[in-house]
Structure 1
Amino acid sequence: MTAARFPDTAPGRVLLATALRWHVDSLAASRAHTRAAATELGLEPRTQRACALAASELVSNALEHGSPPLELRLLEIASGLRLEVEDASPKPPTELHVPATAASGRGLSIVGAVSTRWGHYSTGSGKCVWCDIVASD
């Protein structure tokens, strides 16, 4: 995984752009939307699960540390899927290095583990945290 400020590859078509409720129920909604998009792209089940996990972690991080409103975007990229989660907080995400016994703080580390690269950028009205997940060989 490589962290980057901006995505270095241009996305293809937008598969989904939707507002999510500022509520824990959005975790399940983000996983469902992401699995559907990954299935539509023909990604294998293992990659579909990685996409759903990353979506859940990005949305969870936004709910915990960001500000409403919340938007999920799913974009086709070469051999995979780009996930983008936007919220109104300008504060950039911070990847924590927590002990194995910690109850939380692993979200971005998980995103980094299942994605090819991830990053964030300012939107002017907040931030967008994104990650790319490509099909495994």
Structure 2
Amino acid sequence: MSTNEPPAYPGDSTPPPVGGSQPPASGSYPPAGGYPPPGGYPPAPGGYGQAGPPKTNQKATASMVVGIASLVLGLFCGFLVIGSVVAIVLGFIARGEIIRSNGTQKGMGQALTGIITGFVLVALFLLAVVLLATGVVDYDFNVEG
């Protein structure tokens, strides 16, 4: 053997080279199975599982639209209590979904708008019922001239 051959690895069956050269101290060679795997590349940014920007909860939008429409139509065309109840229910459902989504959904303000407009219309309806029941407001609209 020549003196230019690399030293044997631990666990290698080849004898050490002749000529008095000593292999380096233990720990400088990789384990007996060969060289360790390469370090690899860093993970790609983003990845497959990440979502894009948060999406607006559709129930929050519906709550806001129904609440505002019920309030406007209720003030001009009479009280639409059914629409206000729908706005309140959708608003609370949407708020719960937005909170549980951990930031993947938005629309908390829209849900709150639906809830508030729904409660305002319910309050106005109850006020009208009380005023009519107590006789403060007369619902007889016959005008005799």
Instruction: With the length of structure 2 as denominator, give the TM-score of the two structures.
Output: 0.23
Instruction: With the length of structure 1 as denominator, give the TM-score of the two structures.
Output: 0.24
- Structure with greater helix percent: 2
